[in-house]
Every structure is written in structure tokens, then in C-alpha cells.
Amino acid sequence: MSIGIGVIGLGNMGTDHTRTLHRFVSGATVTRVADINSERAAEITAQVPSATAASDGLELIAAPDVDAVVIASHDSTHAPLTIACLEAGKPVLCEKPLAPTVKDAADVVAHERGRGLISLGFMRRFDPGYAELKAAIEKPLVVHTRSRGVQSCPEVDSAMSITGSAIHDFDTIAWLLDSPVAEVSWHAGRQSPRVTGLQDPQVMLVRTEDGVLSTVETYLNARYGYDIRCEVVCETRAVRLAEPARTVVDADLRSAMQYAADWRPRFADAYRLQLQVWVDSVSGGLPSPLAGAHDGLVASAVADAAIRSMQSGGEFVPVETPAKALGSM
Amino acid sequence: MSIGIGVIGLGNMGTDHTRTLHRFVSGATVTRVADINSERAAEITAQVPSATAASDGLELIAAPDVDAVVIASHDSTHAPLTIACLEAGKPVLCEKPLAPTVKDAADVVAHERGRGLISLGFMRRFDPGYAELKAAIEKPLVVHTRSRGVQSCPEVDSAMSITGSAIHDFDTIAWLLDSPVAEVSWHAGRQSPRVTGLQDPQVMLVRTEDGVLSTVETYLNARYGYDIRCEVVCETRAVRLAEPARTVVDADLRSAMQYAADWRPRFADAYRLQLQVWVDSVSGGLPSPLAGAHDGLVASAVADAAIRSMQSGGEFVPVETPAKALGSM
Amino acid sequence: MSIGIGVIGLGNMGTDHTRTLHRFVSGATVTRVADINSERAAEITAQVPSATAASDGLELIAAPDVDAVVIASHDSTHAPLTIACLEAGKPVLCEKPLAPTVKDAADVVAHERGRGLISLGFMRRFDPGYAELKAAIEKPLVVHTRSRGVQSCPEVDSAMSITGSAIHDFDTIAWLLDSPVAEVSWHAGRQSPRVTGLQDPQVMLVRTEDGVLSTVETYLNARYGYDIRCEVVCETRAVRLAEPARTVVDADLRSAMQYAADWRPRFADAYRLQLQVWVDSVSGGLPSPLAGAHDGLVASAVADAAIRSMQSGGEFVPVETPAKALGSM
Amino acid sequence: MSIGIGVIGLGNMGTDHTRTLHRFVSGATVTRVADINSERAAEITAQVPSATAASDGLELIAAPDVDAVVIASHDSTHAPLTIACLEAGKPVLCEKPLAPTVKDAADVVAHERGRGLISLGFMRRFDPGYAELKAAIEKPLVVHTRSRGVQSCPEVDSAMSITGSAIHDFDTIAWLLDSPVAEVSWHAGRQSPRVTGLQDPQVMLVRTEDGVLSTVETYLNARYGYDIRCEVVCETRAVRLAEPARTVVDADLRSAMQYAADWRPRFADAYRLQLQVWVDSVSGGLPSPLAGAHDGLVASAVADAAIRSMQSGGEFVPVETPAKALGSM
């Protein structure tokens, strides 16, 4: 028995999801795909014979052979498409962010009304390294995270570095510690002279409600590789992610392990496992173990606080928690 | 579209295959299982609702909802069950060894008559680490392999250490180098005093036809962990498997990475990918990219030469190659 | 030709210096030692036959067979003993801190009047790892340092954690970057419940004049080991200290490297090399390549700013630079 | 109090010893140097003011300000110069080999008559990594050693690879295990096509009297770096040398540690400590803790057996032990 999945948006992320679902996920069939570029959709259906192209996201969501939906289209479309899924009563796995603003995210949460239909793509929670790290934590005191990439897209600005990259660390920290983020303080590293239009690197201090202090470094143009690190300093131990390399090459006076050039090889397993677990929950009619709409709202609220700290000179800014956000609606 | 798989033998290995097929492989449904212990079969069908129990392997092979067969039953059953699959015209993935003797293995190869129906479970070929290692080899000169386990089963003797464990290294070396093993020389390490009924550890020298010399250490009772290493020394570089740990734990004056206690976590990915690639080839009607019957025959011939070297005091013993073996039929 | 060295203070540090000078430094003879506990001095002279005990530090400094002085006595004695060396015209290697307050340190600097007689024991500058790290830096943007110990002495409070431990990182950062620290901001990690009388761990943000932002974590009761880390994130590369272990032990399902229990094994080479370079400069009549009085004053000023930030709730506090300090005299 | 050291031979090794003695060893003064090239000797005395040039080794040995002698001249001179030191009654630290043949080495041992005047430069025994390795061994079963270099000198042939490089591993294995080598078997790796006049790499099996089996790989033209490895597989643990790098550089999609280009940085500490311990023993009138003449004889006998195995097609050749060698005199 297989459930039918529709994938909206066929950029890097949506294409990767489509291929992973098609080739590596048990119990799922990609039945529909949609992209604003119809040629792109045709390319994909040529490679994934089970899928046909829908003319747009709404048609895809309505299609009878679509049991559940993956949204990987432009960020600005996430909220309306997610709401369309809710209205169709179909489970949806939406890439982050859930919505462009905290208020919009809160609207989506309100629409969901606790039905648990929305899953958010915070895939690090399914990375085997992070899972092992979480299991090894005992009485945490301090966390250090590093998210470094090779090169950012030209349009990315300082705020997008936070909402697109640091947001993963915000979710990860709260998930690792089982404690929501209470406040954030933003600081500039020395500006990389190769980078324009963006403060890069950035360093944030994050205080969770349990009192743990985290340092979050985001450096999108680190150039040397896609490098994700996390260390949790506990009372009597420290735990960290190992370098995820599979081989060591001795050459040219160096003993070297390879970095990925982007997120795909680094998090391939996390994306696969996240999709598998999601498909299992959909076909079993069970609650999704993925991050949900509320987690997406919370992470956006943390990002919002970080941006306000950036704008106000680095002071600690309290996270306007979902409860408040919802209350203000 | 999903193909129906029958799994014969529900020990550790067969159970693991069944679960992996059921939970993590795209395009496959476990439709039948069989075990000499019918209670065991009932336990599994309770967990895998798509499967029903067959009364024995032959019934399973004949079942109309079985498109392809996995054989993980006792070693002594591999050859006859594989031949039954050949006679039914169904693709089969047989755990190693293909047969208890080189002659029996050659018989199976002869039965197959080049139809490519048989795949052999040399799963290391699908381990992402080994795949990366193979890709990085340039002009190899020397290979070093280490296969260490925590504890061997009570019935394992010195020859079974070779046919059950070292055989993986024999296949891996030939596959990594694209060159068959020409001769083997066997040597005893100092005997571990904790071990009886078995020379442990063992060290073998393996010469492939390309002239590369490999050292193969097999130590089934290394106690400290399940530890598989491989290094290929090339003309101007050396390449080796990295430690496959995902986290580092600092505690008790040590910075430590965890070893697996057995093969399951270490090669979970390799088994999953091997099954996925096999299922893909079966459903696509394509040649299997897995090791085949001929590879199984060759590896058994190398194991045979190693055992003869052990019996004769350590001299190099030429591998009686499949051609000769087949010629002698 | 050998110079005569007097060592004042025979606690852990002074004893270590005495033994290192005696056993491993070329061109130096320990001729005198002094400790407030005369039995302690007798123990040491029994082990170091070249040395005789002086009744106190001032007598030692005045002794004709003392060409140069090492001060490792109680922190409160550093300034007056250093000034006594200046008055005797003898080169002195003083353990940090140079003085208990910035003002006192500035007084010592004023006494020195640029003669270069004072060296400060910021031995990390001579650690081969740090030296290699410094050489590999290219266009630094962000620095991360971690100074963790097993257990702090009972009398240590939050300020002493800064003046005794973090001060090494303050000096190291400025030395690595060739840029003085401009401002510091202090933050509490979640308090380790095993620790009383001291905020532990602490996290500081340090901004140097070149714009580089550093995170400094100090955790004196980390329990798991004495662990010193430093990473410099540059424009297109990141450089960090390797784990300084010499062996890997595979046992008990772990692949493990050993941590030192305290600073002695970790920095034995740094202390030895620092003493050797200092002795060479003294016997050659050359300027000392060690950190000097001014560096000690600067580091104390940074520590002072960190303490004021701690007292004022974490805001960035500008370092009152030596120039200002001297100017205010 | 300082002892006077004379250094004979000022090639790479002798120059390194001279500098180390001069700059980093406590209690020693280089008083004389000698080289067949008098210009070379003049260069060194210009850098080491305490030293004057002797016209040849014998004059140096006879000089009244020479208390002990280091021999680092051409291999062919080791035996006669060592004997000259014995006749002068002066302690001597001779680089390996002690003599060109086992018989000649046995002659030197016979001359020494147990006076303990001769030390052999098997400096790995003083490498902190090897020392830590030795301390961690418990019930060893198998040893693996790798000695790889960047490029061999043009004149080196297959036998010289054994007597010049593998001999270090022969000594190390016997020292680590506290058990002499009983037999050796020699095997060719696939020949590196870049190398002529020399089988490179080579692989040897070494059996010590305690029954432990060692694999010894020697690859002088590995090109990628100077890389010395050693692993001891024990009953319930395995212990190995860690990579001796001090920093990790992340750049160009790689996380890399640096290899030394030759032995000098890799074993600088071992050479320094060996010289210090030797100087201490000479000035204290104590037995030398270094490898002695007998160890040199034994290691040469192992090398001899390896060469005979090479010449006879790889069979195990028993080591003609010193007792036998001495008996044959």
C-alpha cells in the first residue's frame, strides 16, 4: 500500500524531495508535481514516471490521487499553500519558513486548530548525528553551533541569513534542550570583504528558558565547505557532532577529510528519514513526529527577535512567544 | 508499482532484511516469509502485515505473489534454494556463501547459465564509505584490511572465520582493485587466550593478479568493538575508511567515539542500499549491479585457498580460479 | 656558559619551572630558590643540587649568583618582587598576573621605563600548536576559544576565573590577531549545580580593534578533562588546534584519546620552550621575545573590563587601554 | 656542570644533533665537531661558538674536552669509530646501524665487553607517542607498523630500505613487546612505477618469540608525507599512535592535518629527549637507558634475515640471534 504524494516547487529542494520519495522512501508514490515553470515540471515527470504535472499548486492539492503534499516552492507561497492543504484536509510537509512573518505564521497555526496536519522541514532533527547528540546530553549548560556554507545566493541579506540559516540552529537548540528560546542577542563578526549586501559572519547569543546559553555562528560564505557543527557542554561531559566524512585521503602532505559543497550530501540521510517518518505517519493515520506548525512559528519568532537585536545594536531581545503572538490575534 | 519479495530464513540477518525491505526500501513489499521455526515466522508476520508465512522455502519460492527471493537461511541451504529460484526463473539475493564448497558453488554458477538471476550479499560494495574509497583509488600498490568483531559464536572454528568473515575482505579487495585474487598465504597471530576452538586473530597475505599485496587481519573476538578498516596505499596517496562515528563524547578524561557492537549499525546503510538497488534492478528488469554468482564462487575459491594455506603451514596457495573450477566439472 | 636563575615560589608552578630549568633547559642553572615555607625549599634543593635556598625573595634577587629571576609566588607578591628585580637590574619572568589591579600593573610598567627587563608567563604563545595556528591565519573574522579544566580550587570566585584563566585567552586572542582587545561583554552559562561560589561556565564576547569578534568560554569545573581549544575563522578557511593526544585506545566500545587532568602535561612543551627562549635572550643580552609587562597590563585591563561587564549585566565594556591607564597616573 | 660532547659527521643527522645539543639539551656543551668536509665543519662552528673543528673523528675522540661522542658519519665508519671510543673509554651514541654486517656488529659488541659505553640511536623509544603506546599495551597479539617517507635518496636499494628504515620497526617491535624477533618473511608490494633501483613498497611479517605476529610496511617513496604508524592489537583492546598534527586547517573543501616532509619535525622531540637522557646518564655516571650495542646487533640480525628472505622468495627466515652470532666468532 502506497500513499500518493504531490510536490509543489521543483527547485533544488523540491527536486531533491521528489527524487528521494521516488527512489528511497517506502510506501510513497509521487503522483503529482507542480512548478511555475512548466518545462521544469515536464523534466521531472520524464524522470519520475509515476508523476504527472499539475498546472499549479492548488490543482495539485485538490487532485484525488494526492494524499499528502510537500511544499518546496518560494517562501512567499508557503502560508497560502499550507492553508489550502488544511482546507483540503490533507497532511502537508512544508519547508521552512512556515510564513514570512511571525504574524502570518501565527495565522497558519490558528487555521490548523490543533489538527496536526502541518509538518515543518526542520530535518536536522532526523539527522543521525543530531539524534545521537541529543541522546547523549546530560544536564546541559552551554551550546555552541556553527552553520557555515560555501557561498550565499546573491539576493540574500543579513535578515535572510537569520531566517534561512540560523533558524535551523534556533529550532535545533530548542529541540536538543527541550526548552524554548527566551531571548537572543545579535553580533557582527568582522565583515568578510568578499561579501556584499550581507553581514557575514554573524554571531548570536541565545538563552533558552532552562538558562542554557548558546552561541550561534552563521557564516554563509565560509568558502571552505558546508560545515555544520554542534557541541553541547554539560555538567561533566561535552558532546559534539563528529566530522561526517567517510574516508581520509593522505596526499600532498595532508591527511584530509572532505567537506560537502552544500546541504544535499550532508543532510541526505536526514531528508530521507524525515520523509520516511512523515510518510509512515500519514499512511498510519498517526500524529506526525516531525516539527509542526507551532515549532515553525516559534522558530520564526526567534528569528524575528534576532533581527530586532541586529537592528537595535546587539542587546538581548526577548522572543515574543507563540502564546503572546496567538493572543494578539 | 511494487514487487513482491519473499524472505527465507528469519534469524538476525533475515529479520534485518525483512524490516529494512518493509520500512526503508522503495518499490518492494514483503509478501512471504519462511523459517524452519514457524513461531518465528508468525512473530514476523505480526510485525509486517503485508507478509504471510510460507510453510517452507520451496513453497515460498513457488508463491505467485513472490517476484523475487532473499535467502538468509542456514548456509547449507543456500545452494539448493538458489537453484530452486533459478528453476522458478525468479531473481534471488543470496547471503554469502553461495555454497559450502567451491565445487558446489561452481555447480550453482553452471545452473545459472549466465542469466544474471543470482545476486550475492557482499553488501560492503554498497557501503558509502567503501564506495568513496573505491572512487579515490589511483594506482594502488598495497591494501590493508581489518575485520574485528566483539565475540564469535561458540561453534565458529578457524575455517569458518575465513569463510564467514575474511571472505568479505577477499571480495572487497578484488572489487576495489578490479582484479581477482591470485594467491593467499595464511598466518596465525598470537592466540588470544580467551578464545578456544578457533585461531584468533588471523593474518593473511593476499596477492591480486595486478600485483597488489594486501594484508588481511581477521579478529572475531577483539572485544573492544565491531571495527572494519580498509586502507589502500597508492603511488602518491593513501586512502582509508574514516571512523564511522557520528558524535564525539568528552567524558572521564577521554575524547571518545563509539564503536558498534555488531554489523547491524555499522552496515545498516550498506544493507539498505544493496536491497534498494537490487529491488530497482528487479522491477526494472535490468541486470543486477550487486555481486553475482560468479563473484560468490570466486570469493569461495579464495577462502578455500586460505584454508589450504592454513593447513599447509602458511605458504602461498594459488586460488583455483572459477575457470579451472568450471573446467573441472 | 650557563646563567644562574633564581626561582621564587615553589608551589605547583614554581616547582615545575625549577624542574624544567634544571632538567630540560640549555644554558641555565637554578642557583637559588625561595619559598615562604622553608621545608618546601629544602625539598627542592635536595632534588636540584645546583640550588641553595634563599631566606626570602628579596635575598634571592640580590644574590650574586642569580642572573635572572622567575616569580611564581602568590599573585599578591608579583608586583613588589618584579619591582625589586627592576631595581636590581635583573631580568625577570613573572607569572601572570603582573599585578592585582590595572593601576598596580601600570605602576610596574612605569617602573620598567621601557628597559624590557620584564617577561610575562603567557606561555601559550610558545605552545607549538598555537604557534602553528598563528602561522596559518589569513584575514581572520571570528575566533572561538574554550578553556576548560577539571576542577577549580575552593577559593576561586567568578572574578578569579577571569583574571586567572580567561586572561590567557585575552592575551592569546590579541597575540594571534596582532590586535588589542577593544571591548568585552560577559555572560553566564547555565550554572553548573556542582559548583558554588563561582559562576561556571562563563561565556564572553571579545571585540578586538581590527573588528574581529571572539567568543571565549571558560569552564573551570568541566570535570571531563583539561581541554584548551581555539579556532580562528578566516575569510576562506578556518584553523583550529588539533586534539593534542599521542595515542588512540580502542576499548570498551570506544575509540578514545586521553585528556590531561591539568595544565602540566598539556603545556609542558610551551613552558619548556618559553623558559628556553627566555634564557637564550638573557644570556645573549637580547630583547625578550616573551610577552612583556605591557602585555600583562593590557590583559589585566581586558580582565578588568570583563569583570565590570559581569557586574553590570553583560553590556559591552570598553577596555581602558594602557595608554589611558598610564595617562591617568 | 656541563659535559663536553663531540659530534662526528655533519650531514642532516649530525647537524640536527649538534643544534639540538647546543640549543635544547641541559648539561651538555658541544665542544668539538668533525666532518670529512672541513668547510662544513667551519659552517657549524660559526653557528655553535662553543665548538671547534677537529681534523677527523679520531682526533675528536681523543680530545680532552670531549667527554662523550655522537657518531653520525657515514654508515661504514660507525664500527671503527665506535671501537675507537671504546678504546678511549668514552661513552658514545652511535646512529644506526652499529655496523654494516651482523658479524661486524658482533665484533663491536665483543669489544664493548658489557661496559655499557655504547648507545644506539633508536630514537623512537623516546618519542612520547611510542612511550605512551608501550604503556598502554596489555597482552599483545598482533602489531602493524607503517614507515612511509616522501622520497628515497637515489642510491638506496631494496636492502638499504630494510637496513635503513625497516630496522627502526624491528627495534620498536621488540622493544614494545619486550620480546626479540624470531623470524621474518619478506614480500613485495606492487612496485611503484615511479621508483627504480629499489622494491618499494615492501611488506614484512615479523614473528617475535612471544608468538606475536607483526606486519611491517616500508614505503620510502610514498610521496604524500612522512608518516609513521604503529598499532598494537591486544586481547581486549587495540592501541595506536595518533596523528601527530597540531592544527586542523579547513580549506578548499577539506579538513586537513599536515604531514611532515621528513623525520626531523616528526621525531624532533624523540631526538631531543634521547640526547637529554643520554647526557644525563653520562654526567651521572649511570647506565644508559638508550638502546645499546646488543640492541643494534639484534636489529641488524633481523634486517639480515629480512634480506635473506627477500633473496629466497619470501619464506620465513629465522633470525640468527646475537648469541649464535657471538658464538660463531
The whole-angstrom separation of Cα C203 and Cα C196 is: 17
Interface test with C, best of B254, B258, B259, B262 (most C CBs within 10 A): B254
Residues 6+ apart with CB under 8 A from A11: A35, A72, A73
The whole-number pLDDT of residue D114 equals: 87
What's residue C329's pLDDT?
37
pLDDT at D1 over 90: no
| pLDDT at res. D329 | 37
| D92 beta partners | D69, D118
Best to test chain B binding among D196, D205, D217, D233 (most B CBs inside 10 Å): D233
Strand, coil or helix: what is A13?
helix
State whether residue C205 sits within 8 Å of chain D by CB: no
Cβ distance B264 to B226 under 8 Å?
Answer: no
In the structure, what pLDDT confidence band is assigned to residue D322 with cuts at 50, 70 and 90?
low
The verdict on A259 touching D (C-beta cutoff 8 Å) is: yes
Q: A282: which residues sit within 8 A by CB, 6+ positions away?
A: A3, A67, A68, A91, A288
A222 contacts in C (CB within 8 Å)? 233, 236, 238
3-state secondary structure of A139: coil
At A326, the pLDDT band (50, 70, 90 cuts) reads low
Instruction: Say if residue A265 is preceded by a cis peptide, omega within 30 of 0.
Output: no
Q: What is the pLDDT of residues C131-174, one digit of tens each?
A: 999 999 999 999 999 999 999 999 999 999 999 999 999 999 99
Q: Look at residues C321, A21, D124 and name the one whose alpha carbon lies nearest to residue A32.
A: A21
Average pLDDT of chain D, as a whole number:
95
**How far away is chain C from the Cα of D54, in angstroms, using its nearest Cα?**
21
B265 in C contact zone (CB under 8 Å): no
Q: Note the pLDDT of residue B329.
A: 37
- Mean pLDDT on A78-93: 98
Give the separation between CA C142 and CA D22, rounded to whole angstroms: 40
For C212, the grid coordinates are 574581529
How far apart CA B186 and CA D256 sit, in angstroms, is 37
Gap between the Cα atoms of C262 and A183, Å rounded? 35
The stretch A163-169 carries a mean pLDDT of 96
Q: Which residues of B touch C245 (CB under 8 A)?
A: 255
Rounded to whole angstroms, how far apart are CA atoms C196 and C216? 21
Closest CA of chain D from A17, distance in Å? 25
Strand order in the sheet with A92-94: A52-53, A28-34, A3-8, A68-71, A92-94, A118-120, A291-292
% chain D with pLDDT above 70: 97
CB contact under 8 A, D203 and B201: no
For position C100, what pLDDT does the model report? 87
Q: Which residue has the cell 599521542?
A: C246
Cell numbers for D143, please give them.
602489531
Question: How many angstroms separate the Cα of A40 from the Cα of each of A47, A49, A54, A61, A63?
Answer: 11, 15, 12, 19, 20
Nine cell digits for residue A202: 554573524
Share of chain D above pLDDT 90, in %: 95
- The C-alpha cell 670529512 sits at D36
Examine the pLDDT at C5 and tell me if it is beyond 60.
yes
- Whether pLDDT at D100 is above 90: no
Three-class SS state of B221: coil
The predicted structure's pLDDT at residue B100: 87
Facing C259 at nearest CB: one of B225, B254, B257 = B254
Say how many C-beta atoms besides its own lie within 10 A of residue C76's C-beta.
11
C-beta of residue C269 within 8 angstroms of C-beta of residue C131: no
CB contact under 8 Å between C24 and D250, yes or no, is no
Tell me: pLDDT of A114 over 90.
no
Instruction: Please list, in sequence order, all residues whose beta carbon lies within 8 angstroms of the beta carbon of residue C323, skipping any fewer than 6 positions away.
Output: none
- Local confidence band at B276 (pLDDT 50, 70, 90 cut-offs): very high
Nearest chain A residue to D149 by CA distance is A253
Q: Do A23 and B251 touch (CB under 8 A)?
A: no
Angle at C296 between CA C293 and CA C300, to 5 degrees: 140
**What would the grid cell of residue A127 be?**
539527522
What's the gap in Å between the CA of C29 and the closest CA on chain D? 9
Please check whether residue C78 touches D, CB under 8 A: no
Written as one letter, the residue type at B145 is T
CA–CA–CA angle C218, C224, C230 (5° rounding): 45
B278 contacts B126 by C-beta, under 8 angstroms? no
> What whole-number distance in Å separates Cα of residue B153 and Cα of residue B220?
9
Q: How far is CA D93 from the centre of its chain?
A: 11
Whether the Cβ atoms of residue A150 and residue D250 lie closer than 8 Å to each other: no
In what side-by-side order are the strands of the sheet with C52-53? Answer: C52-53, C28-34, C3-8, C68-71, C92-94, C118-120, C291-292
User: Which DSSP category does A76 fall into?
Assistant: G
Alpha helices in A98-223 (DSSP H): 102-112, 128-136, 158-161, 167-177
Give Cα separations from C24 to A114, C159, D85 (angstroms).
71, 35, 26
CB nearest B250 (choices: C225, C250, C251)? C225
H and E: helices and strands count for chain B: 11, 16
Residue D140 near chain B (CB below 8 Å): yes
Alpha-carbon distance D159 to nearest alpha carbon in chain C (angstroms): 31
Question: DSSP readout, B32-71?
Answer: EEE-SSHHHHHHHHHH-TT-EE-SSHHHHHH-TT-SEEEE
Task: Nearest chain A residue to B269 by CA: give it.
Answer: A269
Give tens-digit pLDDT for B183-204: 999 999 999 999 999 999 999 9
pLDDT, tens digit, 9 for 90 and up, residues A215-257: 999 999 999 999 999 999 999 999 999 999 999 999 999 999 9
Average pLDDT of the segment spanning C100-118: 93
Q: Which chains border B (3 or more CB–CB pairs < 8 Å)?
A: A, C, D
Q: Cα(A174)–Cα(B140) distance, rounded to whole angstroms? A: 48
Any CB–CB contact under 8 A between B22 and chain A? yes
- Average confidence score pLDDT of chain C: 95
Residue closest to D133 by CA, chosen among A298, C247, B45, C40:
C247
CA C275 to chain centre: 13
Q: Judge contact between B17 and B263, C-beta under 8 A.
A: no
Q: What is the pLDDT of residue B328?
A: 40
In this structure, the strands spanning B92-94 and C238-241 are: unpaired
pLDDT interval class at C95 (50, 70, 90): very high
CB contact under 8 A, B233 and D212: no
Query: Residue A327 above 50 pLDDT?
Result: no
Distance of alpha carbon C61 from the chain centroid: 22
Average pLDDT value for residue range A6-28: 97
The answer to whether A256 faces chain C, any CB pair under 8 Å, is: no
Residue A224, chain C, CB below 8 Å: the answer is yes
* A204 φ, ψ (degrees, to nearest 5): -120, 145
Residues of chain C with C-beta less than 8 angstroms from the C-beta of D253: none
* Chain A residues with CB-CB distance to B257 below 8 A: 242
Q: What is the dihedral of CA D202, B141, D240, B159, to 10 degrees?
A: -90
**A188 interfacial to chain B (CB closer than 8 Å):** no
Q: Point out the residue among A243, A250, A261 whose CB comes nearest to the CB of D224.
A: A250
What's the rounded mean pLDDT across residues D112-124?
95
User: Hey, what's the cell of A216?
Assistant: 550561534
CA distance linking residue C165 with residue B129, whole number of Å: 42
pLDDT tens-digit map of C24-51:
999 999 999 999 999 999 999 999 999 9
Can you give the three-state secondary structure of chain C, one letter per residue?
A: CCEEEEEECCCHHHHHHHHHHHHHCCCEEEEEEECCCHHHHHHHHHHCCCCEECCCHHHHHHCCCCCEEEECCCHHHHHHHHHHHHHHCCCEEECCCCCCCHHHHHHHHHHHCCCCCEEECCHHHHCHHHHHHHHHCCCEEEEEEEEECCCCCCCCCHHHHHHHHHHHHHHHHHHHHCCCEEEEEEEECCCCCCCCCCCCCEEEEEEECCCCEEEEEEECCCCCCEEEEEEEEECCCEEEECCCCCEEEEECCEEEEECECCHHHHHHHHHHHHHHHHHHHHHHCCCCCCEEHHHHHHHHHHHHHHHHHHHCCCCCEECCCHHHHHHCC
| Mean pLDDT in residue range B260-277 | 97
Q: Does A246 touch chain D (CB under 8 A)?
A: no
| CB within 8 Å: D248 and C240 | yes
Q: Tell me if A60 sits within 8 A of A82, measured CB to CB.
A: no
Interchain CB distance below 8 Å, C246 and D28: no
- C289: phi then psi, degrees, rounded to nearest 5: -80, 5
Decide: helix, strand or coil at residue A119: strand
